[in-house]
Structure 1
């Protein structure tokens, strides 16, 4: 079963983003992914911004998932950043975003790209998990919370598959 945490290293988690606007957030997220993605921070930030301009990636609950595809990337890479004060990231009615998940994928992984996005959205839909992530003191604790949440989610999915 697919796990988001397979694509999320603890080094790619930042408990306190310092950015003050949307462009700076994208640049900061790109920095968390650039080394593992094998693409420069600037180039990755440009791709994230281009995708964001097509349509906001803000979800309910103060979460945004800026993502893109890039020909120079060999595998899916994700990151997680918390902005303690929150930032206006999408339309004004979206409210402040505090939890940011960045993702970059190779162009030929459309199905896997969508499956990882779906997993992220499913997990971060839970208000309890979002609150725990906001309260977590370190990147290691944040990753452990996500692993635990995925473990709790997987048995339910497997049981549903068996019942069909």
Structure 2
């Protein structure tokens, strides 16, 4: 996603662009789920971190390094939320960080009945990400997480939009 002037777009236009970008980054093989979400949100925010920040998300795909645990898209979403609500040494923890992190967890749990990659993808168990069905499922989750994070940031006034 090229850096965009968010003030030129409506909320829905931005959310559509964010979702599409995260999915395209994953589908194209440029990034995996966690990386695609983090990169998309970093760009949406005007790159407060250089593009190398995506390296922080590289160990999270396919449930924490292919372990099948926490969904990589959720991990990437949590890191993306940290761009805005995280802290540095000496700063107090913002209650908002815990609030939005919990909300993302609950969103995925409500939608997919789990935040665990192996549970979310159980119908493709053992295919090692080879089936098109599993890929499409994960592309969609990745886009939906990026969209959810962007929506939260817009609703919280962290991203300005065209009214």
**TM-score when normalising by structure 2:** 0.37
* Larger helix percent: 2
* Larger strand percent: 1
Of structures 1 and 2, the one scoring higher in RCO (CA 8 A, sep 6+) is 2
